[in-house]
Amino acid sequence: MELSVAHPAVKAFMCGSFSGTCSTLLFQPLDLVKTRLQTLQSTVQPGSGRVGMMTVLLSVVRTERLLGLWKGVSPSFARTIPGVGIYFSTYYSLKQHFYQDDRPGPLPAVLLGGGARTVAGVLMLPVTVIKTRFECGRYSYVSVSGALRSVCQTEGPAALYSGLMPTLLRDVPFSAIYVMFYSQTKAALPSEVGASPSAPLANFSCGILAGVLASLITQPADVVKTHVQVNPQLRTAEAIRYIYTEHGAQGFFRGALPRSLRRTMMAAMAWTVYEQMMAHIGLKS
């Protein structure tokens, strides 16, 4: 099917998938470092902020070489390419159905972002579980398909949905907050900026601003999600108690720097690429 004759929602899916591919390839090392920081054993005391991040990054390069920073990129692609496509096509379909040509306000933007992320998050959770396990370094999976078979055979299919609640508690608020701030900051820009050659840079800057706040608010849920998916015997409440007992309140913000960098940059790039591609093919994003 040629893009020019495809259904608008299919076009949105393809634009979203392309934007997700670019951002995943660039920022996978930050996701791996974030996962390693969050799953450090209690006997290891990483430094705070940039020190902890750099310590883990250098350790990965020393023990697994430079390409080790892209460990887990295969499940990341398997999750992000269809996942971002599903997210943007759902977002586009909901926006066209409920708001059509109207510019949604803050509350509608929250509902659109949260609704699209719920659909994508539930559908892609099995691959998210595999991706987290690849990155943590505790499992010796060879491929995504092999990992899926191994989990189903040894732990049962239900293990592929471990961490569903903290995942949704992380991703749905992140997307809702992000879309709200992104859409409102874009709307506040002078109209001549949106029509100028610097529009992509302005959109990217709006995305950075929205992403920082959304990342920090949802960081505790991300830490809980990682522990549940790496240790599927833990329930959400047990993971929360474990993190607090072992690391205190600051444990819920382990990996905040690499995650904030990655999520902010990925979201900003994905939305910028998506909107430019949609404009190129004549659709309003």
Give pLDDT tens digits for 213-253. 899 889 999 899 888 888 878 888 999 999 999 889 988 99
Tokens of 164: 């569903």
Give pLDDT tens digits for 65-86. 898 889 888 888 888 889 999 9
To the nearest 10°, report the CA torsion of 260, 261, 265, 267: -20
Q: Got the DSSP string for 137-167?
A: S------HHHHHHHHHHHT-GGGGGTTHHHH
- CA 86 – CA 173 distance, rounded (Å): 17
285 within a domain of the structure (yes/no): no
Q: Which amino acid is at 12?
A: A
- CA 173 – CA 87 distance, rounded (Å): 14
263 within a domain of the structure (yes/no): yes
CATH of the domain at 102: 1.50.40.10
190 within a domain of the structure (yes/no): yes
**DSSP 8-state class, residue 35:** H
The domain tally of the chain equals 1
Span of 18-22, 193-197, 274-278 with lowest mean pLDDT = 193-197
- CA 248 – CA 66 distance, rounded (Å): 32
Segment (H or E) for 109:
helix 106-136
252 within a domain of the structure (yes/no): yes
**Whole-prediction pTM value?**
0.75
- CA 117 – CA 106 distance, rounded (Å): 17
Q: HSE (CB half, 13 Å, CA atoms) of 118?
A: 9
Q: Please state the rounded mean pLDDT for residues 156-169.
A: 90
227 within a domain of the structure (yes/no): yes
Phi, psi of 254 (to 5 degrees): -65, 135
Q: Which of 106, 149, 142 is nearest to 126 (CA)?
A: 149
111 within a domain of the structure (yes/no): yes
83 within a domain of the structure (yes/no): yes
Give pLDDT tens digits for 245-285. 988 998 899 888 888 888 888 888 888 888 888 888 877 76
Q: Which of 18, 134, 129 is nearest to 84 (CA)?
A: 18
The residues near 82 (Cβ < 8 Å, ≥ 6 apart) are: 17, 124
| pLDDT at position 208 | 92
**DSSP 8-state class, residue 104:** -
Which structural domain range is residue 21 located in? 3-280
User: Which of 103-129 are b and which e, b meaning 16 or more Cβ less than 10 Å from the residue's Cβ?
Assistant: ebeeebbbebbbbbbbbbbeebbbbbb
